[in-house]
Chain A
Amino acid sequence: MLNYIWFGMMFIGVVVGIFTGNIDAVTAAAIDMAKVAVNLAIGLIGIMALWLGIMKIAEESGLIRLIAKGLRPITVRLFPDVPEDHPAIGSIVLNMSANILGLGNAATPLGLKAMEELQEINPTKDTATNAMCTFLAINTSSVQLILPATVVALMGATASQIFITTIFATGMSTVAAIFAVKFLEKRRQFTFEPGGNS
């Protein structure tokens, strides 16, 4: 699916660009964004190093295992393929907590740590497992209790009204994400087979 969407975006971009006379802008965007991508990645290094260092301490001191144990009733249902006391569960829980609290900077490194640990129990290293897809879907549905600081700044006094509607809407999208992965993971076109399609 990603193959078609990726190609489709570029293809539509070029075709529409030719017809609307924006083709120079399309070219410029392609070159610019390639640079932006590298800058984004490089910009992540410092924050990543900070949180991964702290996480290592949490791991060595057994803190992660403790947290994972506490939330086992929920995580067993969401991630049935991951062994109960696997460190990935701890990282997943921490990533979600960071998301809920609106700590985007901390959430990404924690999430990447979780992915690395999920990859350890992945039999086919180039293909996503059910647990990975579930984790990603929940992540992209944006579980959030605290509004992004930017939204608060923009909305001013009305931000507190948005608080409630955002919790409802984000709750709906998270539930939808969980149902969607659980439904889709059993569909034939997405089945988990070594060398299967994407």
Chain B
Amino acid sequence: MIESFVQGVTEVSRYIIPLLLVGIPFYGLIIKKVKVYETFVVGAKDGFTIAIRIIPYLVAILVAIGMFRASGALDLLLNFLSPVLTFIGFPPENLPLALMRPLSGSGSLGLLTDLINQHGPDSLIAKIGATMFGSTETTFYVLAVYFGSVGIRKTRHALAAGLFADAVGVFSAVYICRFFFG
């Protein structure tokens, strides 16, 4: 039953973007008589300025993440933490992914691919990893892009809240998967 539901949802999602791309102009032109072409161009112009505006923020965040990642600090942290993790039922194999996830989308996808290849998609570790990946976000990237686009430099509690949510997502992934599959 779950399978067919998942399939249905995935099937529907294939049509959403094309439907939005014609649906919204349809509503505008046919129902509300909006000059859709001219309006589109006016809106689209902002795409360029916003993309350019986020560059300094992205450079700042991505360079720091890159340096941290390349230094091997993550592995040190992993060695240090793995006894504690095993104790609380958190598979140490999943830790690199959990730590990488808020920092880098491509980096964490690489780690997930590696986990699945090494342990097989049926393993608990792969299932926990995939759940983690789906239930957290690249917090630093989102923060840099979203705040950067409007020039916000003082981000207040956004990072703390985002990282807390990531931590809850990571631990939920572990314990929910253990409950369902463990």
Residue ranges of A at the interface with B (Cβ–Cβ < 8 Å): 1-2, 5-7, 9-10, 12-17, 20, 22-23, 25-26, 28-30, 32-34, 36-38, 40-42, 44-63, 101-103, 105-106, 108-109, 111-112, 115-116, 118-119, 125-128, 132-133, 135-137, 139-142, 144-148, 150-152, 154-166, 168-170, 172-174, 176-177, 180-181, 184-185, 187, 190, 192, 196-198
Closest to A150 in B: B109
Bound-complex Cα distance A109 to B20 (A): 14
What's the minimum C-beta distance from B167 to chain A, rounded to whole angstroms? 8
Bound-complex Cα distance A155 to B122 (A): 8
B121 touches A2 (CB 8 A): no
Residue ranges of B at the interface with A (Cβ–Cβ < 8 Å): 2-3, 5-6, 9-10, 13, 16-17, 20-21, 24-25, 27-28, 31-32, 34, 36, 39-48, 50-52, 54-55, 58-73, 76, 102, 109, 112-113, 116, 121-122, 126-127, 130-139, 142-143, 145-147, 149-162, 164-166, 168-169, 172-173, 176-177, 180-181
Bound-complex Cα distance A133 to B165 (A): 13
Bound-complex Cα distance A152 to B3 (A): 12
Which residues of B sit under 8 angstroms from A23, Cβ to Cβ? 71
What's the minimum C-beta distance from B27 to chain A, rounded to whole angstroms? 6
A184 touches B161 (CB 8 A): yes
Of the listed residues A62, A115, A132, A136, the one surrounded by the most CB atoms of chain B closer than 10 A to its CB is A136
A154 touches B113 (CB 8 A): yes
Known: A155-B126, A163-B2. A133 touches B157 (CB 8 A): yes
State which of B10, B70, B149 has its C-beta within 8 Å of the C-beta of A115. Answer: B149
Bound-complex Cα distance A48 to B54 (A): 12
A142 touches B136 (CB 8 A): yes
Of the listed residues A47, A157, A169, the one surrounded by the most CB atoms of chain B closer than 10 A to its CB is A169
Given A50-B44, A154-B113, A158-B121, 16 further pairs, Cβ under 8 A: A15-B71, A29-B69, A54-B24, A103-B16, A106-B20, A115-B146, A127-B153, A139-B146, A140-B143, A140-B166, A142-B134, A151-B134, A162-B127, A169-B134, A169-B135, A173-B135
A137 touches B70 (CB 8 A): no
Bound-complex Cα distance A37 to B49 (A): 16
A173 touches B6 (CB 8 A): no
Interface class of chain B by DSSP:
helix
Known: A127-B152, A176-B165. A190 touches B177 (CB 8 A): no
What's the minimum C-beta distance from B44 to chain A, rounded to whole angstroms? 4
Closest to B136 in A: A142
What's the minimum C-beta distance from A26 to chain B, rounded to whole angstroms? 5
Bound-complex Cα distance A20 to B76 (A): 10
3 tightest Cβ-Cβ pairs between the two chains A and B: A56-B43, A49-B47, A173-B169
Which residues of B sit under 8 angstroms from A22, Cβ to Cβ? 70-72
B135 touches A166 (CB 8 A): yes
State which of B3, B62, B68, B71 has its C-beta within 8 Å of the C-beta of A37. Answer: B62
Bound-complex Cα distance A155 to B132 (A): 13
